[in-house]
Chains A and B, each alone.
Chain A
Amino acid sequence: MATSASAGKLFSGQETQQSSAISPTKLIWRRFLRNRLAIAGGIVLLLLYLSALFADFLAPIPHTDVHEDYVFVPPQLPRFRDKEGNFHLRPFVYGLESELDRDTFRWVHHVDYDTIYPIYFFVKGYEYKLFGLIPCDRHLYGVNAPGVFYLLGSDDLGHDMLARIFKGARISLTIGLLGVTLTIICGATLGTISGFYGGALDTLIQRIIEFLMSFPAIPLWAALAAAMPATWSPLQRFFAISVILSLIQWTGLARQVRAKVLAYREMEYTTAARAAGASDARIIFRHMLPNAFSHIIVVATLAIPGMILAETALSFLGLGIQPPQISWGALLKQAQLVSVLLQQPWLLIPAFFVIAAVLTFNFVGDGLRDAVDPFSL
């Protein structure tokens, strides 16, 4: 690839000297940047992770705050024009009056067009710790005391959906990363051993992989999740779920790494390294894994969306993340009934975040796959 790149530069008559020194990483990065969809996906993904990181800053109300008066408030849009048609430079929301409907026993919210609560930015609010370390009490937006501002509505306990979605993102978005890390460690190690040493060890590992693959994924995950003792702490559950999810996932990666290593074993450079007296470990870590690394990263990126979906499904069924912990799947649990959805459609908003995360991971993964392929132009 480097030679063809330098040849191209040669014809255009520009610094031949420099371009012949482009590293493979730079070439991959260049090809990746050419893929607009992957770039857009990467940006959205970055925003999603940032919103999870700064969840406390972005939400005006703590996600655990219960408001009996503001149950099932529909999303409130910031307004610029009041009922007299005057334009306000500072956006505002109207006040809400809650009333219990005596016939249906449901809280009904009327918009009070006479009270106006301007939205202030970088307001002081509840205290939290930024990155878990720095004490902080600033929030991106908020309204003054008696007013409320539910940008994405509220749920059956008057929780702010926006705060819950961003807090839930912390679990939903990291469980895939953790699961994939375990998948890479397990899959790459066993795949390399299997391909490099061959023989009985290879057969054994391949049989184990085939065996694990003969379990239906979701029922097996559900059975394992159901086996978690109820006494486990949220952190233990979180780790256990990612272990459960990677339990099947690593098999696919191990097979692909094995195939790669089998091919590399026959390459001249491996023979050369061996002739130069390199140890097995050196051949594996210096020559084979760097070659397979880009491939592993692609497989891993494309495995994350599957894990996010799996966690969502498990939590949706009540087998995954348990309250008071929240994840997108756990949030969607309350949107299980059609009757609820018809009356409170905004409870489905977390689903769009799931779709966005999965879609963008797929875009980025696809872009990476095309970028690391040395035969693509």
Chain B
Amino acid sequence: MQRFIIPRFLYMFVTMFFVSIVGFVIINLPPGSYMDVYRAQLEAQGTTTTERQLETIIRQYGLDQPIYVQYWKWISGFVQGDFGRSFAYNKDVSELIWERLTLTMLISISTLLVTWLIAIPIGIYSATHQYQPSDHFFTTVGMIGLSIPNFLLALIFMVIAAMVFDQSVGGLFSPAYEDAPWSLAKVWDLLKHMWIPVLVVGTSGTAGLIRMMRGNLLDVLKIAYITSARAKGLPERRVILVHAVRNAIHPLIMILGTSLPQIISGATIVSMVLSLPTTGPLYFNALLQQDMYLAGTFLIFLAGLLVIGNFLADILLVWIDPRIRYT
């Protein structure tokens, strides 16, 4: 087991290193930089003292030097917790992102849990009731769930909430708690708001998982050991839940690593529509305003989550499936 984990762990760092390079280059691709915009703003205000500050920033991040120097300055700060400066907010990136990243993770992980809790029982039910009306019903609902763009679902939810319940559903907190320090009441308020984004982000994932679980289970049920389990007189319930599901669930664990990033990725757009205080809106604004350190930091954090997720999924898979040889 260790012989598998250690190289896999090291490989994770190599990937992250390349991801950070490519991410930095992509974020720096747009012609011009935020510094030009910033300088123009300052000049319009006619301030001269800040010109010196500007010089300091340029020197600190090496903005007048070639891109590999800029990258090196940024990444060596990155590993020490200095993610650079957000020019649009005029704050350090590290001040801006932590709370948003935490909320993003909270929503994503809850979505993942909800998705699995809904999808696996339905998938098992569909497979054991193949081609019955209930199976067709779930297949159709799943297909529709896959086909509706997430942001559209978010819009529909908001319209329904506005029309039926006469309340606005944007955001994650009631205005009273928005800037309040964390307390039990604030957590409760968060939970009350969270179910809409969780449902909206979870739909397409749930539909995909149901179809996958159904297909896998149907494949496993054709294998001879299921017939022999039935032949030796095991109750059907035990055959399905203990013998079949355990083997049918492996491919799902394999995609566990990719489903978290997919959820985070999908949540970025939903959070734009629902105006959630998560990473999504900040990231897109940073992209549009060429606030490169902010956008770059998010891109790398999101990619990092993906890489870590894949790593954990690989280990989990090796752990639960003895048939996989770790090479």
Contact = CB atoms under 8 A, between A and B. Distances in A.
B30 A317 contact: no
B262 A341 contact: no
Nearest to A225: B287
B18 interface: yes
Given A332-B152, A354-B149, A214 B15 contact: yes
B135 to A, nearest CB: 13
Interface string B10-36: 000001001100110011011100000
A313 B302 contact: no
Given A219-B299, A336-B273, A355-B148, A229 B287 contact: no
B151 A362 contact: no
Contacts of B155: 335-336, 338, 341, 348
Interface in A353-369: 354-355, 358-359, 362-363
Interface in B283-322: 283-284, 287-288, 290, 295, 298-299, 302-303, 305-307, 310
B144 interface: yes
Interface in A207-255: 210-211, 213-220, 222-224, 226-227, 229
A362 B148 CA distance: 12
Interface in A316-352: 316-319, 332, 335-336, 338, 341-342, 345, 348, 351
Interface residues of B, number: 49
B303 A338 contact: no
Given A223-B26, A227-B26, A342-B162, A359 B306 contact: no
Contact of B159 (A213, A227, A309, A341): A341
Chain B interface SS verdict (over half): helix
Given A309-B149, A342-B163, A211 B302 contact: no
Interface in A66-103: none
B266 interface: yes
A154 interface: no
Contacts, number: 115
B240 interface: no
A222 B272 CA distance: 13
A168 interface: no
B148 to A, nearest CB: 6
Nearest to A332: B152
Given A216-B299, A219-B268, A220-B299, 14 more contacts: A210-B15, A217-B262, A217-B265, A219-B283, A222-B284, A222-B287, A223-B299, A229-B31, A317-B269, A336-B155, A345-B159, A355-B148, A358-B147, A362-B147
Q: Identify the 6 closest CB pairs spanning chains A and B, nearest first.
A: A227-B29, A358-B147, A226-B287, A359-B147, A216-B265, A218-B265
30 contacts: A214-B306, A214-B307, A214-B310, A216-B264, A216-B265, A218-B265, A218-B266, A218-B268, A219-B283, A220-B26, A220-B299, A222-B287, A223-B23, A223-B295, A223-B299, A313-B151, A319-B284, A319-B287, A341-B159, A342-B163, A345-B159, A348-B152, A355-B147, A355-B149, A358-B146, A358-B147, A359-B143, A359-B147, A362-B143, A362-B146
